[in-house]
Every structure is written in C-alpha cells, then in structure tokens.
Structure 1
C-alpha cells in the first residue's frame, strides 16, 4: 500500500487521496467486525454479520490506485538514466521503514502475548521472509507474513521491481514488458503444482489490477474526464457488481482480477476522472485521511485489539466496541502519520538522496533502450 503523495509539478490529485482513505476504511471496517466477533465469542455475546460484500475490495482499489500513482509520477521518465534507481529508492523509503516498525511490533506482541494472537507460531525463515517481502508459509500453512496485512506489500514490491525494469526502456516497450511479465506469472501460476507456492502467490490474477491503474493514469494524463452523472452511475455499478459477485460466491472460482478488479476499476475510474473535490474543510480532512492511509492500514489491527480489550474492561456493548475501534484506529493512524511516518520519511529522503548523479543501473546491465 504505497503512501506516496500524488504530486507532479505542484499538482495534487485530491480525489485519489480521498479514495485512498475510503479504501483503507473498508479494510478497517472488515477487521473491526472480525475483532468484535472475537470479543463476542470470548464473552458469549452475539454480534450480527455484515456480509454485504467482500470488504477486501479496499485492497483491490488500493492496487488500482498504486498502478495509477506509479505511472502518473513516472510516465515521462521511461528510458531516462537513473530513473529506475531513483524510483526504487523513493518507494523503499516510503514503504519499508513503517512496515518494519509494525512487523517488529507484531513480533514483540507474539512473544509477549501470543495467546491473544491468531497463528502465533514462529519460524526464523518466516520471520526473515516477512521482513524481506517474500511470501513464505507460516505455522498454519497460509502465505501470510508476521503482520498478516503485509501480504499486499509482497505484491506491491513485485510491482515495483517490474515497473523499475520497465523504466529502463522506452515507454511503449516498457509497458509491453510489464504486460508480458505479468501474463507469464499468471500463466505459470496456473500450470505449476501447489508446492511451487512463490509462483502460485505472485502469479495471482490480482497483479493485473496494477495494470488497470496504469491504463487509468494514461487516460487521466490525456485529459479524459467524466461528468458527475456518469460518475454516480459508475460508482453504483461498481458497488452493485461487488455485492453480486460476493453473494454468488464468485470469489471461490473466479480470478480476483474479475471479482475485485472490475468493481475496483469502476469505482476508481469514476472518482479519478470525475469532477475534482471542492477545496474546503471536509475535503482537507479526508485528504489528510488519504495521506495517513498507509499508517491506517498498518496500525489498525493494533488499535482494534487494544480498544477491544479496553472496551471489555469498561463494559461497552459490542456495537460500541465496533464503532469505537474504528474511530480509535483512524485517530491513532493520524497520529502515527503526523508524528512518525511523515518526519521519518522526510529525514530518510534527505539522507538517501544521492549527492552525485545516480548511476544508470540499466545501462550498466546492458538493457537500456533509448
């Protein structure tokens, strides 16, 4: 989940920032519901299900947005010396430190209070793979890292690596290379046995959502826009499609590129290509939420768990724990963003910015095409 601001020549796509907040909110909503169900099970209480759609749609929207952001920021730097190295430097500075902090916090939590955490078995290989963004089976056999939400970042890092390779080439060639590599991954995942789990993971159809975002960015940069009426229809259609696909259990036998990608691109395209949000207090608040969406994504499991414990101690009703946990997650993530993520990112950017021209890694490798 990249937390890069979408700035270019002083331009800020506020619609995308607002959508990033709502995408993260969908994920928080789903996990808040799961946490309250855990509290209910421990206290013999009951809490109704909210099975309208797969709230993980927020992840699909994030992947489309990620493809949009990367191409939007880098579309004019394909084939330029140093562009791939600079791209990777900035992505790593933005993604890795905060993820490592919360991964370490999860590791400490497992060591200190493993009984409160699901799938708390530890394996040194799994720990190393978690920090390295490499899929590796945990104790229950699932391909989730220590901080289970990090599975999405394993896909993000794959996308960044492929995108950096594409930046070595002229833009048309680079785009084709990305398409071919992703197609090969998906085809390979369908052909290999389950034991080849790295390819099974990275070849999931969900990676195609990054390409949908790149296509959307190309339309945006060409000046393509949608009227408000079409925006409303597209958002409604995207949500209706997500609900229908979930209700017929399509997720069990249809690639996520369809079940999640189609609703996500409908909603994202509508928001990005629609009229820009008016400048005002509400817009600025939601834009701040978008800025803090990466912090919200990583920190909310901890906020929900802590608030759940506090809520039980205070005797709060389950709906109160549900709503309060969501509010606490948003507040905590804003604090993490403003007090940790933002200053840490600025400091690391200054420290890692090359003082001399970046060596062209592509040319060194003999694959730079101009």
Structure 2
C-alpha cells in the first residue's frame, strides 16, 4: 500500500464579510517586518534617525481588532459567565504563542550571553522582569534595564487591556452608539494632547504609553463596526489604494506620526467600505494570509535578531548588497515558521484552552472554529 501523501493545510478566512480587512492585517504585519529588517541596511550609527512611521501599522492592528471583536462578541459579554468565556478565548488566542516566543527569546539571548555576544542591548534576566513579561505587564511597567524579552509583546499587553475593557464598550454601544463614538473621539483628542505635550516631534505617537496608544484606535474600530453600513464611499477600492499609497509615503518619510495615524483611520474606513462590495479575485485569494498576522508579528523579531542582526550584521559585517540575501532568507523563515506555528502550535493550544472547564466539551474541531462560525453567522 502506498503511503498517504502529506498535504500542506490551507489557510481559510474566518468570514467572507471582512476580506479587505483580513488582507490589510497581513499587509500591516509585513510592514512591521520591513520596519525591523530594513534598518540593517544602514550603518548602526544612523539607524536611530531612520523614519519610524512603519511602526504605526500596529495601530491598524488595534483598529481592526476592535472591529473584529465587536463583530464576533456583540451581545455576548452581558454576564459574568459570558465575560469569563470571552477572556478564556482571548487567552487561548494570544498567550500560548506569547509564552513560546518568550521562552525562545530567553534561550537565544542566553546563548548570546554565554558566547559573549550579547552587547549593550540584552534584555533583563531578572526573574521579576521575566515574570512581568510573561503576564504582559511589560507593556505598562519598566523593570530592570528597561529592555524585555519578546519586545513586540508590548502591543499584546495593550491589546489584553482592551479586552478587559470590552464589556464597558459593548455596554456603552447598547445605550448609545453615538455616545460611544463621541467618547472615542474625546479619547483620541485627549491622547493626541498627551502625545504633543510629552513626546518629541521626531518620535511622537510610538512613545505614547501602550494602553493609551491602543485605546482610541480600538474604540474607533468598535465604532466602525456599529456604523459600518453607513460608510458609503464612491469607488472604495480606488480610494483604499489611494489612502494606502499616501499612508506608505507618510510612513517612510519624516511625516509627523499623527498624520500617519489619521491616514491609518482613513485606510480602515475605506477597507470597511470596500468590504460592502463583492471582493475581486486577488483579494479573495490573498485574504486568508491574514490568519498568519499574529504568528508573523510574534516570530519576526526573533528571526531577524538571529539572521540579520547576529549573523549578517555582527558576524559578517554585511554591506547592503550582501544584506539582501540575508533579508530574503529572514522573510522566508518568518513565513515558514509562522505557517507551521499557526497550524501545529497555536491552533491546538487554542483548542485546548478553549475547552478547559467545559462540562460538556465539544470536539476539537468545533472548538477551534467556534469564533469563525460566530463570524459567519453574523448578518449585521
């Protein structure tokens, strides 16, 4: 008997209603990867002066997250039990990969320390600092030397704070959607005021305290869900392409971050408008890549640290021309590891955590698609 051939599992979108948003989640993750890899094409002394606008793609994550969470959980967090189930699923989605990448980062940096190659930017090995990172408090607190393992997890900590607050937003939306929109606008203006008063023009929005940075974008995402059918834009896909182009230009130049932030909101709004129409074929084909967004985000910094920083930059002192193949190899590794991680690590872990404490546990397949089915059942 011939051995059964092994097939690569296929990515699938969670909902046909958010294809453009799914695609832009993936685009945002690629933007973050580009931000952290392209700095090695420049001398170390000049890297701090490079435009940091691509880092604001994280704020697009916050907007889309607010939209998706409202889409899935509207009317489903009204009791303590519902709230507990909601948080359980959020923990199942975020924490296993966070803990895995944290452990991997500790191992990698330990090897650097043993080899005497840790340099001046090694994270703090203090037990308290590692514990704070493990429970995502590194987004809110400063410990040790101020550098933590799994540095990108700062945004996951901010995201978790948004999840803790979500029932409040859902309650406000039930009573007055216009009131929630007004509150989101006030929060945005307040955070802009904080940004302008405390942060320099060169850095601006990326230095806002993470929960404060996430709050207006997450709230705006929730509001966009409730007002999605009122978003009417002529030729939305053309406007989406135009707004994305303007956003990228602002990000790769020294345009003030608040302008880029405004363009992020425009991109999100036009993507939602585009999702009101039938998506073109290329969007349908690429949208499933949005499922890899979290994997790419969590793994990319570790891969770049090893391949581009330690090997290419520190070991080979690679000039820009030689850095190109190292960059390509890094991107290929990131995609491969993320694909493997999504199917082999994240999905089984999510199934397990989602099923904990259930008196009548559903099958693993039912558990893992529970939120996806919730998305499909939404009719708006």
TM over 0.5: yes
Residue 201 in structure 1 maps to residue 200 in structure 2:
no
1:171 corresponds to which of 163, 170, 174: 174
Residue 233 in structure 1 maps to residue 239 in structure 2:
yes
TM-score normalised by structure 1 residue count = 0.73
Query: 1:126-145 maps to which residues of 2 (within 5 A)?
Result: 126-134=129-137, 135-141=140-146, 145=148
Q: Give the aligned partner of residue 343 of structure 1.
A: 348
Which shows bigger deviation, 177-186 or 154-163?
177-186
Q: Give the aligned partner of residue 160 of structure 2.
A: 157
Alignment deviations for residues 159-180 of structure 1 (CA, whole Å, 9 cap, x no partner): 1111134446772269958948
Residue 24 in structure 1 maps to residue 32 in structure 2:
no
Query: 1:79-228 maps to which residues of 2 (within 5 A)?
Result: 79=78, 82-114=81-113, 115-116=117-118, 118-134=121-137, 135-141=140-146, 145-167=148-170, 171-172=174-175, 179=183, 183=187, 190=194, 201-202=209-210, 204-220=212-228, 222=229, 224-227=231-234
Q: Give the aligned partner of residue 268 of structure 2.
A: 268
1:119 Cα deviation from its structure 2 partner: 3.3
Alignment deviations for residues 292-319 of structure 1 (CA, whole Å, 9 cap, x no partner): 1101100112222343366677x88212
Alignment deviations for residues 211-267 of structure 1 (CA, whole Å, 9 cap, x no partner): 1211221222x374544x33323442354256347745524xxxxxx3443111111
1:21 Cα deviation from its structure 2 partner: 0.8
Q: Give the aligned partner of residue 334 of structure 2.
A: 329
SS of residue in 2 equivalent to 1:82: helix
CA distance in 2, matches of 1:224, 1:193: 34
CA distance in 1, matches of 2:178, 2:103: 36
1:27 Cα deviation from its structure 2 partner: 0.3
CA distance in 2, matches of 1:74, 1:67: 11
From the superposition, tell whether residues 292 and 74 of structure 1 become closer, same or farther in structure 2 (CA, over 3 Å): same
From the superposition, tell whether residues 181 and 216 of structure 1 become closer, same or farther in structure 2 (CA, over 3 Å): closer
Check the 8 A contact 2:51/2:251 in 1, yes or no. no
Q: Give the aligned partner of residue 297 of structure 1.
A: 297
Check the 8 A contact 1:241/1:263 in 2, yes or no. yes
From the superposition, tell whether residues 49 and 72 of structure 1 become closer, same or farther in structure 2 (CA, over 3 Å): same
Quote the RMSD (CA, aligned, Å).
4.0
Alignment deviations for residues 264-287 of structure 1 (CA, whole Å, 9 cap, x no partner): 11112222320343457x734x33
From the superposition, tell whether residues 292 and 347 of structure 1 become closer, same or farther in structure 2 (CA, over 3 Å): same
CA distance in 2, matches of 1:159, 1:182: 17
1:151 Cα deviation from its structure 2 partner: 1.0
Check the 8 A contact 2:159/2:214 in 1, yes or no. no
TM-score normalised by structure 2 residue count = 0.71
What is the number of equivalent residue pairs in this alignment?
327
Unaligned 5+ runs, structure 2: 1-11, 200-207, 362-380
Q: Give the aligned partner of residue 256 of structure 2.
A: 250
SS of residue in 1 equivalent to 2:53: coil
Unaligned 5+ runs, structure 1: 195-199, 252-257, 357-370
Check the 8 A contact 1:36/1:321 in 2, yes or no. no
1 or 2, which has the higher helix percentage? 2
CA distance in 1, matches of 2:158, 2:354: 23
